[in-house]
A = this chain, B = another copy of it.
Amino acid sequence: MTELLDQLRTAVGDAHVLTEPADVAAYVVDWTGTHQGRALAVVRPGSTAEVAAVVRACAESRTPVVPQGGNTGLVGGGVPDASGTAVVLSLGRMRSVREVDPVAGTITVDAGVVLADVQAAAERAGRLFPMSLGSEGSCTIGGNLATNAGGTAVLRYGMTRELVLGLEVVLPDGRVWDGLRGLRKDNTGYDLTQLFVGSEGTLGVITGAVLRLFPATPRHATAWVAVPSVAAAVSLLGTAQQHGGVHLSTFEIANRQAIELVLAHLPGAVDPLAAPSEWYVLVELAGSASDEGLDETLESLLGDAVEAGTATDAAIAGSPAQRDALWALREGISEVQKVEGATLKHDVTLPIADLADWTEAMGPRLQEVLPGVRPVTYGHVGDGNLHYNLNAPVGRDDDLRAAAGDLTTAIYDAVAAAQGSISAEHGLGRTKAAAAASYKSDVEVDLMRAVKQALDPAGLMNPGAVVPPA
């Protein structure tokens, strides 16, 4: 123990091995506050070589390692368990943008660079790094990669795994795999990059990445649309795809309950429409400087939608400030839910064709489990992804906590019955690892275990996350 701490201090410097409870506190509890763990130490290496030295020392003493980025995860994947036996390996000091190559369309970054800083570096080079999340001001790209993060740009640009070309990874034995290739095409064997993306630190520690950049889309046409139902929203999605084609970049949904919370708790939030609606859609078209017809396209698609009855009203942003205000309604939801009291989060995907029926059936089903429970539903219709969150009945937080297991089981069972996914974009972490395994086939769980065993035979990398103990 003392020997390991000495090795860690030698590896990264005394100042970067934290053991005092006050120093360690912020690293051992997750953003939701539901995972409170303990750690042997928090280590903050400043380079790939230092990460390798830390992992090697931990491997030699058979000490579990929990890699951590911005600690904004929602499933307890980045914080240690309560045993106090693990070292938290924080990548937060590795913040260099190593290279931007606008012609190749690549940016090479340290794992600890904050997502918003990656976006800004791309913009300075006249390019777009499209990933966009509520937590983009504090989450790190390494965490985004480790969890295969989603966000509001998935509809057009895909998940994180579609935005990465190469990785640098410290393996469980402390060796460094240099896969930092910025090549768009490299068909020379198994795709190790994609194996590490989404593995949540259970196969190694991502220390650097080459990411894809895209043509900038300086032009936007944005509308906040009242829609009568989820079915109408899905139908509107088809209309938007037909009119918008490649320009359709955003298609987000939120229910009235979610927007009421935003209007109540987010300073400055204003309802852009005169009458309340059961559901809303945020739709955006994005294009290059030469795409001058986006506003007309948006107006024509909304005209068709109103005529078809899939939209009842809409507010179109007339300025960048108005666009920001519409986006704030959508992006404020996650934060304001916390203010409102106890919440229970679910991040699910349904086949888009089943989205409406599923949502329709789920509401009454949950009222049976806990009368008065308030679904705060929002998400990414274009991806079939709902953040199907629940707020407690007004003033009855304890009832929600008591019914949490039953509510989650009801939701997951319905997701599984519809061939959906119980984690669309948040990963499994410690919260969902066992549940996910229980809904998967034995064959699939065996495959995951075989991969874990092959790359981390000692089982020291983020134990308990993703692959549940046998």
Contacts and interface: CB of A to CB of B under 8 A. Distances in A.
Interface of A: 101-104, 147-148, 150, 154, 158-159, 161-162, 171, 175-179, 181-192, 194-195, 197-199, 203, 214-217, 234, 237-238, 241-248, 287-293, 297, 349, 351-353, 380, 382-385, 419-428, 432, 436, 440-441, 443-444, 447-448, 450-455, 466-467
14 contacts: A102-B238, A103-B353, A104-B352, A171-B443, A185-B424, A187-B425, A192-B447, A192-B451, A215-B244, A217-B245, A217-B246, A247-B288, A290-B297, A293-B293
The 6 closest A-B pairs by CB, nearest first: A245-B288, A454-B454, A194-B194, A186-B421, A185-B424, A184-B383
A238 B103 contact: yes
Contact of A425 (B147, B185, B447): B185
Copies of this chain, count: 2
Nearest to A291: B245
B181 A190 contact: no
Contacts of A214: 246
Contacts of A217: 245-246
Given A103-B238, A171-B443, A288-B246, A191 B182 contact: no
A415 to B, nearest CB: 11
A340 to B, nearest CB: 26
Contacts of A292: 293
B187 A147 contact: yes
Nearest to A352: B104
B177 A384 contact: no
Contacts of A450: 454-455
A289 B297 CA distance: 11
Between A178, A185, A198, the greatest number of chain B beta carbons within 10 A of the residue's beta carbon is seen for: A185
A467 B454 CA distance: 16
A455 B428 CA distance: 23
Given A245-B287, A290-B245, A195 B191 contact: yes
A216 B427 CA distance: 32
Contacts of A162: 158, 162
Between A237, A244, A290, A297, the greatest number of chain B beta carbons within 10 A of the residue's beta carbon is seen for: A290
A272 to B, nearest CB: 25
B421 A154 contact: no
A243 B291 CA distance: 10
Contact of A290 (B179, B243, B423, B448): B243
B188 A423 contact: yes
Nearest to A178: B441
B290 A349 contact: no
Given A185-B425, A188-B421, 16 more contacts: A101-B351, A103-B352, A159-B185, A171-B447, A176-B443, A184-B382, A185-B380, A185-B424, A188-B422, A188-B440, A190-B198, A190-B199, A191-B195, A217-B246, A245-B287, A246-B288
